Structure 1
Amino acid sequence: MEMPRPLRDLPKAHLHLHFTGSMRHSTLVELADGYGLHLPDALKEDWPPRLRATDERGWFRFQRLYDIARSVLRRPGDLYRLMRETAEDEASEGSGWLEIQVDPSGYAQRFGGLTATMELMLDAVDRAAEHAGIGIAVVVAANRTRHPLDARTLARLAVQYMDRGVVGFGLSNDERRGRAREFDRAFRIARGAGLLAVPHGGELLGPASVAECVEELGADRLGHGVRAAESPRLMELLAERRITCEVCPMSNVGLGVAERPGDVPLRRLFEAGVPIALGADDPLLFGSRLLDQYELARGTHGFGDAEVAELARQSIRGSAAPETVRKELLRGVDDWLASGVPPEPAS
């Protein structure tokens, strides 16, 4: 009997990973100890934290833990270390292309302003990509809990650095606290320059939030988008327009969007023809990286090797990777699927 192929060897693209949230837990603890910073039990002894963000109090706790984690990144060397380790983790899990989301405004006060912070982050990305031998690009993400004018500033900053590896413009944080349409001018700036529009939507709110991201912001991809599964018509629209949903199963469970891993509508979206790119979102807070999402698709949702190969293809096709990189990764997926796995030796 043929054994399943190793998912670690499957070439894939990772399109939904946040900068701070990509940090290794061991690095968080080490940096905090080095700076004499106290970490709450949820980020130390009781890690990963028990989270549920479907109510306002739960989201506040999630955001507070995220802000505490960000506070350990105090020197340029910390950013370089985070990015280098993230790239190493990606390469070890078969990710050949990463698009990492950054909101430079969260670090600007510490690192000399928006422009200086952006320069620092992009240099860290370039060095990490070369070190790990993978492709890495950047999505600049605005915070929907801040004023839309701030988003326009970030959109212009993202456009300014398109020649340095910025490929998209996003919108993150609690979608209940900022309607997508309020940020349409920022997205017009980004789209007009040729950046991908990749807002979060359809996580804590339902299909109407997804539709607003698509119709008002011109989304090319959706951060999460799982709530689209509640509307057959919306799934049909996403499939028809080839709008990729960056589905992060363990994040959905961690934040209470789905009660159990099996409740994430991965199979429903897949069978409706909606393109999917599995993502880890914030491994630092959810305790799982990209490979775990593929393991879940196989073990919990019953995806066979041909289906997980198609998930990997969809992640690559939905990426902003150069055509040469896409072709190489897609060829690798075909090779992975064509390779036979030796049967277990007889006992």
Structure 2
Amino acid sequence: MLTSPGGHRPHSRTSDRAVRDVSLLPKAHLHLHFTGSMRPGTLLELADKHGVHLPDALSGGAPPKLRATDERGWFRFQRLYDIARSCLRTAEDIQRLVREAAQEDAADGSRWLEIQVDPTSYAPRLGGLIPAMEIILDAVDSASRDTGIGIRVLVAANRMKHPLDARTLARLAVRYADRGVIGFGLSNDERRGFARDFDRAFAIARDGGLLAAPHGGELAGPGSVRDCLDDLGAERVGHGVRAAEDPRLLQRLAERGVTCEVCPASNVALGVYEKPEDVPLRVLYDAGVPMALGADDPLLFGSRLAAQYELARVSHGFTDAELAELARQSVRGSRAPEDVRRGMLADIDAWLAAPVPGPPAARG
């Protein structure tokens, strides 16, 4: 059962079978976009604060109906995202967004969050690119202290912009590697342009010790995943689910241990797959491809991290042992320090070793 952001958590029972609560399963969250992490209620309050008119799709209290498999649909999705982003105008707004995103993650069992942001999107209202980056990292530090979750930042370039802009961002990301930036990504519609146009930006990032984690294999097919590997040196792939269409590519991902940041609810909401059962979680899992389930943009897709694990359980029959392995894969795919990883892995084992709750009480 998927839930709206900030709403009820996924229940911990499948039919009449007693199962463990996925919101208590320790996990790492590796695919969450900055503006998209916002609570719907926060968006409404910030829009009122700054005098931003929200379309019905963002103010109606339910996730918008989206389908981005054609150009018009993607444009609508991007327009809604841009409107939501325009409500983040002050350092206080940024601090609130990150704090609340961390609180939501904590409630879902996340112990480690790597949040993705393009600081150029916020720079005009925050005094420039460097001030925006400083504000974001200060907010991350504060939220991490307040919630106890380890939080790091992945700076993402926009493939709809010029590759020279991506190089500027890569240099900025490297500059702040000692302040909590752990990776460099490439987002937006992978059907546009070529991954190789951004190879220099990724080389800058990798030379600076950053993780390479571009988007691929969502709106475009397995070829876009291969491009991420061959042209950008990807160590993780944002989404990557379309790799399921190419057995040789699956084998390559498995052999290299490249983690795919799979976002099941997002895939269905955008029309990549028609229904949750169609998302090829089983195909990737059985092929040995590491996965880290992610919520992508809860503001627009209507569900957060624990709901993705619940989807794997309900729609794909993942057992508690398999869900624990998915959580382990998310930890191994993260840039968490070794001691943090060890602690999380031990707590995952403890979750799985704990007694299964009793059967649901009979209704009468």
TM-based fold match above 0.5: yes
- Name which of structure 1's ranges 337-346 and 239-248 shifts more when overlaid on structure 2: 337-346
Does structure 1 retain, via aligned residues, the 8 Å contact 2:257–2:290? yes
1:82 aligns with 2:75: no
Of the three residues 243, 246, 249, the one matched with 1:231 is 246
Structure 1 residues 346, 197: closer, same or farther in 2, change over 3 A? closer
Q: Which residue of 1 aligns with 2:337?
A: 322
The code of the aligned residue for 1:10 comes to L
Deviation of residue 294 (structure 1)?
0.5
2:286 maps to: 271
Measure, in 2, the Cα distance between the counterparts of 1:115 and 1:178. Answer: 28
1:103 to 111, 118, 123: 118
Unaligned runs of 5+ in 1: none
**TM-score, scaled relative to structure 1:** 0.98
Query: What is the alpha-carbon distance in structure 1 between the residues aligned to residue 61 and residue 106 of structure 2?
Result: 28
User: Which residue number in structure 2 is paired with residue 41 of structure 1?
Assistant: 56
* 1:117-128 alignment, distance < 5 Å: 117-128=132-143
Backbone CA RMSD of aligned residues:
1.1
- SS of 1:101's partner is strand
Given that 2:253 and 2:289 are in contact with CA atoms closer than 8 Å, whether structure 1 keeps it comes out as yes
User: Secondary structure of 2:115's partner?
Assistant: strand
Paired letter, 1:141 = A
Contact 2:156–2:186 under 8 Å retained in 1: yes
Separation in structure 2 between the aligned mates of residue 304 and residue 116 of structure 1, nearest angstrom: 46
Between the two proteins, the alignment pairs up a number of residues equal to 347
Change (3 A) 1:124 1:346: closer
Match of 1:289 in 2: 304
Alignment partner of 1:220 is 2:235: yes
Change (3 A) 1:318 1:345: closer
Equivalent residues in 2 for 1:1-347, closer than 5 Å = 3-45=18-60, 47-344=62-359
CA contact (8 A) 2:19 2:357 kept: no
The residue identity in structure 1 corresponding to 2:303 is S
1-structure distance, mates of 2:273, 2:357: 37
Q: Deviations over 1:22-61 (max 9, x none)?
A: 0000100111122222110000116310101111000000
Runs of 4+ in 1 over 4 A off after TM superposition: none
In 2, the alpha carbon distance for the partners of 1:239 and 1:151 equals 29
State the AA in 1 paired with 2:19: P
Q: Distance in 2 between matches of 1:28 and 1:290?
A: 19
Secondary structure of the 1:175 match is coil
How many Å separate the matches in 1 of 2:44 and 2:228?
37
Q: 1:179 Cα shift?
A: 1.1
Alignment partner of 2:202: what SS? helix
CA contact (8 A) 2:20 2:357 kept: no
- One-letter amino acid of the counterpart of residue 249, structure 1: P
State the alpha-carbon separation in 2 of the partners of residues 345 and 211 from structure 1. 46
Once residues 145 and 43 of structure 2 are traced to their aligned partners in structure 1, the CA distance between those partners, rounded to angstroms, is 24
